[in-house]
Structure 1
Amino acid sequence: MKIKTEIENAIKEMGFVDLTDIQKQTIPLLLQGKDVIGNSHTGTGKTAAFGIPILEMIDFDDHTVQALIITPTRELAVQIKNELTKISKYIERCRIVDVYGGEIITRQISALRKKPQIIVGTPGRILDHIRRKTIRLENLKYFILDEADEMLKMGFIEDIETIFNETPENKQTLMFSATMPKPIVKLAKKYMFEPEVITSVGNNLTNADISQYYYKVKRENKTEALYRLLNIYRPNLALIFCNTKAKVDSLTEELIERKINCDKIHGDLPQTTRLDVLKKFHNGIIDVLVATDVAARGLDIKNVEAVFNYDTPEKADYYIHRIGRTGRIGNLGYSFTLVSKGELKRILEIERITGTSIKRRNIPTYEKVMDVKSDKFIEEVKTTIENENLEKQYATLNKLIQAQISEDEIIVALLKLLNTENDSSITKEDINETFENRRRNNQDNTIRFHLNIGKKQGLNISDILDFVRSKVRITAREIQDIAILTEFSFFTVPNKYGPVILKNCNHKKLRGKKAIIQVSRKRR
């Protein structure tokens, strides 16, 4: 594959050695002029997969918009623009503009007047510019949808169809999507021409380069558990996920109190603040970023060494997206999930859906953490002695000695001052828990049903919950152990609901098909 010297020089500077699987498959097809559907997860090198061939093919003497890249979030738009800017570093006439909501539109209009050949943006703001005629697509040659399934979940499909209808028929289209739900397949059939379908997801939904662990711990001890793990593993960059914005706020405060160099990102923060925090994290100014799932969507920081699930994710796809932020493009990564008593069933469900085993580990003891911190401190002292100018510090030391304080006493007192922590916030005992999943212990009090509808009909967990609860007075919590396979599904309920479910749910329509519910044979 021969590409422009300018692109080749830029990607060498970026550290490209070998192309990833998705890049090897996508780049030649795009260079041949084919439409492509890429079934690929986060962290596989998608931006370069479409960025390299687009930059190879664009006519930079033409000052009209030739490539449009649509993403579900502002953060992803900014990061794609930055990545393309790096790849096009030595192409002098290349102009790239990103447009998204949350920023003053007049700034974007000013940038668009400079006649960019490439635009990256979110659906709503792109549509806004099209209606204002500040973006014109009559000369568009390349149309890219990144994370199409996420845009479907966020309700952007109608906007995307409207944008499609503003583009010329004779263009090349690329769509990346980690999953292929029916509306995405329908979109592809309607707007793409004989697309080549490529996949780079493998058999497991999670990356084999990520070591995945979970820890049983009481909810009130989670911050202490997190603090210990951060100190033991000492990742250069770490992402911590919480399920709510309120927990992101409170956890960030707790970690700052414990002298962890961290910041936060969630949807209630101003867009400028979010981008500033991401920039600091990307550049290593902060080591730890606490985030919600939505805020971190599309986050593309290549050197994240560890992901911590402070809250166990509520859905398996959230787990996949979270841990996909580490172990990217061949690098090794770690995933740590803190599991309280009510969350254990989620881990079992995640294992089943992702086809992977999450190993159970014990939280390190307080004494072990102190030993590691002590060793780290000794290393830092040695480095300071070898590399720093300490004249001022020697002057202070001399004053202390003149005050008839011995060197040993000075050293011990300084160590005490350096290691002062708020003992009221620290739990020093063993915080590992031994609780088991109640579903496993109480199986004799439950009944398991077989349902003749599965993934083939687009069935998901919410469908089963809504279907059963619409026919039976039962809480969602009482419908457990849901397993959705290709052709059929299973779910478990307390024995008392068995007869009424068989009576009220059988032969009723679910996902356009008659539901046949039968008592499943006992599992071994």
Structure 2
Amino acid sequence: MLLQKGGIIIQYNNQKIEQALTEMGFDEFTPIQTQTIPLIQEGHDVIGHSQTGTGKTAAFAIPMLEQLDFESDKIQAIILCPTRELAVQVKGEIDRIGTYFPHLKTLAVYGGESIHKQIQGLKHKPQIIVGTPGRTIDHINRKLIRLGHVKYFVLDEADEMLKMGFIEDIETILEATNKDKQMVMFSATMAKPIIRITKRYMNNPKLISVITDEETNKDITQYYYQVQDKNKVEAIGRLLHVYNPKLTLIFCNTKRKVDTVTRELTKKGYNVDKIHGDLQQTARLHVLDKFHTGVLDLLVATDVAARGLDIKNVEAVINYDVPEKAEFYVHRIGRTGRIGNKGYSFTLVSRKDLGNLEEIFTFTKSTIKKRNIPTPEKVISVRQQKQAEEVHDIITNINTNPHFDLASQLLNENDATDVVQALLHKLSKNDSSNKVNGDINESFQKGHKNKSSDKGQMTRYHLNVGKVQGVTPKSLSQLIMKKTKLHNSQIDQIYVTRTSAFFSTKSSKMNQVMKNLSNITVGGKRTSIRLAKEQQ
């Protein structure tokens, strides 16, 4: 069967998939889908160089579902994801595409949920497992997940798993699979450890790239605003009033800042909630579901909590904090402007953020225009214009007869202008925050690079402890954060061998790292730290 979408013709072997895609509203295939699906159908290993939100799940799920044996009780496909949220999301997408396969059984396995509940799910013999690396290994060690008959092995967001220290876990899982499987990998960046996996475990993979020089999405209008930290919440409120996006993601660099911003936006009357790592898994999924379905207008999140999310109809991304790594900026704003839709990115820049902003300019090679935060007068003018348009639209297109009696009573008892003013007041948000008046725009000079001339440079370190002392990428990351007070996002390229460990930070943090990681005890051994040789 041939199925044509948006001018692209793809061969299908199963009408059930076509029916599901039609009901899901597939109007056209994305570039990653048009290039990847035929290759997977032909049996090739595939590397998809693609960002989040480009339709990757359908790209591997469609050909996978065509080939699975739904009568078998063996696990035939495993998809690894960096976060529990993404695992749940990918499973849901596969279920929707496979909705007309009555014997399809999928299971998501991840930390934060009762392992006993997942054990019960495994007893039903699913054909497809979607999991995070740690929990997947737990089930493999319990001999509950056996991967000796896998047809498809998919690594989704491989670069994110690298950043989170999962590369060794991925290799452990790969070693548990049969050699004749077909392997598919998706990654927004192609770091050396990822390339090493492709060479070791993939069979002459076909590379499909839909990213050009790390450029950001051309469908996203990008602005930045210079404003003091104390006025950033006020700035968000003014931007929301002027642009009025349907769904907005707001990113902060820390969990504490997420809590603060959510609390202040709630005072301003916004329908807002938050996600970060300290929330229970069930609470995070509940918040994400409310945001995804439009029950919430605003979602405040950290990079880690929002990693890998594919939420449709996000019209604006606001960077309350400038991300500490330029690539985080690309991932953040990629949540909007999805698959041909238009989106906005607003970045709030204080004086201390200028260095990071320069890195983003260099990394993205895109145009991020400087704009001014609207004045209160501009906000009021725009809001009144929109309210007038909404009232005219209701008068023209909506049956308001059920309110005729009450309207007549109000007009008989009061002046007509007073009635309209009262109703408009009732529609306005109940702002209980401390209001900020006047112009909040700042003019920061960019001539302060002498303080951090090495802002974009990285330094690599060698520690004299490794697996023998019980060091893992995750435990090393936690140790570095505890001893140096660095944030997780400031630690990169962790690699642990039998007797040594390596990691990188920005060069500006070198003294802080060298001082605090020297002469401490790890696994019974006193540490020494030095700069790694270039090849390390």
TM-score (norm 2): 0.81
- Secondary structure of the residue aligned to 1:159 is helix
Matched AA of 1:462 = T
Equivalent of 2:416, from 407, 423, 440? Answer: 407
Judging changes above 3 Å, is the alpha-carbon distance between structure 1 residues 7 and 471 closer, same or farther for their aligned structure 2 residues? closer
Select the structure of larger CA radius of gyration. Answer: 1
Equivalence map 1:193-232=2 (5 Å): 193-232=203-242
Match of 1:75 in 2: 85
Partner of 1:239, secondary structure, is strand
User: Is 1:387 matched up with 2:430?
Assistant: no
**Structure 1 residue aligned with 2:22:** 12
Structure 1 residue 410 displacement after superposition = 3.2
Aligned residues of 2:458 and 2:504 also touching (Cα < 8 A): no
SS, match of residue 119 in structure 1: strand
Tell me what 1:437 maps to.
Answer: 446
Shift of 1:439: 2.6
Alignment-mate amino acid for residue 107 of structure 1: K
Q: Call closer, same or farther: CA 1:446–1:227 in 2, change over 3 Å.
A: closer
How far the C-alpha of 1:74 sits from its partner, in A, is 0.4
Deviation, 1:204, is 4.0
- Residues 35-54 of structure 1 aligned to structure 2 (within 5 Å): 35-54=45-64
Q: Contact 1:204/1:356 (CA < 8 Å) preserved in 2?
A: no
Q: Decide whether the 8 Å contact of 2:239 with 2:374 is kept in 1.
A: yes
Aligned 1:82-93 pairs, distance under 5 A? 82-93=92-103
- Residue 462 of structure 1 corresponds to which residue in structure 2? 505
Deviations 1:18-45 (A, max 9, x none): 3222112211111111112222211221
Change (3 A) 1:367 1:26: same
Out of 161, 167, 172, which is 2:171 matched to? 161
SS at the partner of 1:59? coil
For residues 449 and 66 of structure 1, the distance between their equivalents in structure 2, rounded to whole angstroms, comes to: 46
1:177 corresponds in structure 2 to: 187
TM superposition shift of 1:205: 2.7
Aligned to 1:480: none
Spell out, residue by residue over 1:164-186, the C-alpha distance to the aligned partner (whole angstroms, 9 max, x if none): 11111111111112122222122
Task: Specify whether residues 447 and 413 from structure 1 end up closer, same or farther in structure 2 by C-alpha distance, changes over 3 A only.
Answer: closer
Instruction: Say if 1:39 and 1:178, in contact at 8 Å, map to a contact too.
Output: yes
1:312 partner letter: V
What is the aligned partner in structure 2 of residue 521 from structure 1? none
- Number of the residue aligned with 1:340: 350
SS at match of 1:295: helix
Equivalent of 1:248 in 258, 261, 264:
258
Alignment of 1:88-107 (within 5 A): 88-107=98-117
**Deviation of the 1:352 alpha carbon:** 0.4
- Please state whether the residue corresponding to 1:206 is helix, strand or coil: coil
Counterpart contact for 2:459–2:505, Cα < 8 Å: no
Q: Confirm or deny: 8 A CA contact 2:267 2:433 kept in the other structure.
A: no
For residues 343 and 450 of structure 1, the distance between their equivalents in structure 2, rounded to whole angstroms, comes to 13
- The question of 1:66 aligning with 2:79 is answered no
* Candidates 156, 166, 169, aligned match of 1:146: 156
Q: Secondary structure at the match of 2:263?
A: helix
SS in 2 for 1:305: strand
Flag as ranges the 4+ runs of structure 1 deviating above 6 A. Answer: 445-454, 458-461, 468-472
Cα RMSD after superposing both structures? 2.9
Q: Quote the offset at 1:451 in angstroms.
A: 9.7
Correspondence for 2:292:
282
Aligned length: 472
Q: Is the 8 A contact 2:82 2:133 kept in 1?
A: yes
Instruction: Give the Cα separation in 2 of the matches to 1:247 and 1:162.
Output: 36
Whether the 8 Å CA contact 2:459–2:507 is kept in 1: the answer is no
Relative to structure 1, is the Cα distance of residues 158 and 447 closer, same or farther in structure 2, using a 3 angstrom cutoff?
A: closer
Partner in structure 1 of residue 137 of structure 2: 127
Q: Relative to structure 1, is the Cα distance of residues 179 and 446 closer, same or farther in structure 2, using a 3 angstrom cutoff?
A: closer
Q: How far off is 1:88 after superposition?
A: 0.9
Q: Which runs of 5+ in 1 are unaligned?
A: 473-507, 515-524
User: Offset at 1:342?
Assistant: 1.0
Other structure's SS at 1:294 match: helix
Identity among equivalent pairs (%): 52
